[in-house]
Amino acid sequence: MPTAIVCVGMAGSGKTTFMQRINAHLHAQKEPPYVINLDPAVRNVPFDSNIDIRDSVNYKEVMKSYNLGPNGGILTSLNLFATKIDQILNLLEKRTTPDPAKPDAKPIKNILVDTPGQIEVFVWSASGSILLDSLASTFPTVIAYIIDTPRTASTSTFMSNMLYACSILYKTKLPMILVFNKTDVKDAEFAKEWMTDFEAFQAALKEEEEAGSFGGMEGGAMGGGSGYMGSLLNSMSLMLEEFYSHLSVVGVSSMTGAGINEFFEAVGEKAEEFERDYKPELERRKKLREEEKQANREKELGKLMKDMAVSGEPSSKKPEPDMDTLSDMEEDNSEEEGDGNEEGLSTRYKQALADAGGPSNEDNHSFTRYLRASQMNL
């Protein structure tokens, strides 16, 4: 089965350039991937996409039709595109299945997925969950979290990226690779050291505090700067130590191509981890959802059977006659009163008119005489 690589990351981290680099690398290896673009707002994509959301959804028209802003337009476009997920999976299965008519054709080994720059729009939306769950239910799926290495040089921004990666990992429940991009500008060895050596991160944190990078008054808990910020980062680094052990970390330069081989080695390891650890969990969750659906279906069916009184159980209450029985009783009474249905109805009308013409007129005359007598007395 081919491996689906889903590239996510904050705006400006270099996702699209990274996609271009790994796409070119696979073409150079004579193993062209199947590329999917899920960014509806991008103008130009520097690679050819086999499936492009822009071919199905017009981002600007969605904004005009629903009176939305940029983020709302992207989210709604993804929601509309998610309705076609069954067609996408059918296309992927056809392209990744070996064709007996073409035995010399190489099967597709990688599926590359580019996501919108607004990471929260994709990761935390219902459409993003549908797309990821559908991919993961069919192919081994790996999350590549792209990080802007030069912007992660400070301990605070580094920890913010780690917390974001942690939230994505536990939201998607898929194997993840941390890709420190732009290593041609700044080497990513410092980040790898911070993740593996707790004392190295503590030393960098203390150095920034003494330099007053966090602001605040002098004489904080750990030297100059804000003691609260230092203690917070210190606590989070201790908490995320277990989280780091579940990640693969690679440094990559999308401009020069350095580290691409290491990235695909990590992809192979995570694909094996997916089959070993994540796939049984996905199947368990899928089975649980099916059981819940079946239980809800049986519950609704039981309610329906009870409402229709066809459950087969003896009822303690006296059954109420239905409308058909009442209608039959009325028709029988009407037939008994007259020779036919119309004749019986005519007879009842005549009787009612006769009754109305008799006593009511006499009552009216007596009431008139009473009024005249009362006026004479006055």
Q: What's the chain's average pLDDT?
A: 79
Provide the pLDDT for residue 60: 92
The reported pLDDT for the residue numbered 304 is: 79
- Return the pLDDT at 28: 93
Mean pLDDT confidence for 23-28? 94
The residue extents of the domains of the chain are 3-212+234-283
What is the phi/psi pair of residue 290, to 5°?
Answer: -65, -40
> At 148, which helix (H) or strand (E)?
strand 141-148
C-alpha triplet 113, 118, 122: angle, nearest 5°: 55
Statement: the pTM of the whole predicted model exceeds 0.85: no
Task: Tell me which architecture the domain covering 3-212+234-283 has in CATH.
Answer: 3-Layer(aba) Sandwich (3.40)
Does residue 78 register a pLDDT over 60? Answer: yes
Taken in order 264, 268, 270, 271, the sign of the CA dihedral is positive
Beta carbons within 10 angstroms of residue 115's beta carbon: 26
* C-beta separation of 286 from 278 below 8 A: no
Per DSSP, the chain holds a count of helices (H) and strands (E) of 16, 7
What is the pLDDT at residue 372? 55
pLDDT at 178 over 80: yes
pLDDT per position as a tens digit, 291-339 = 888 888 888 888 877 777 654 454 455 555 444 444 444 444 444 444 4
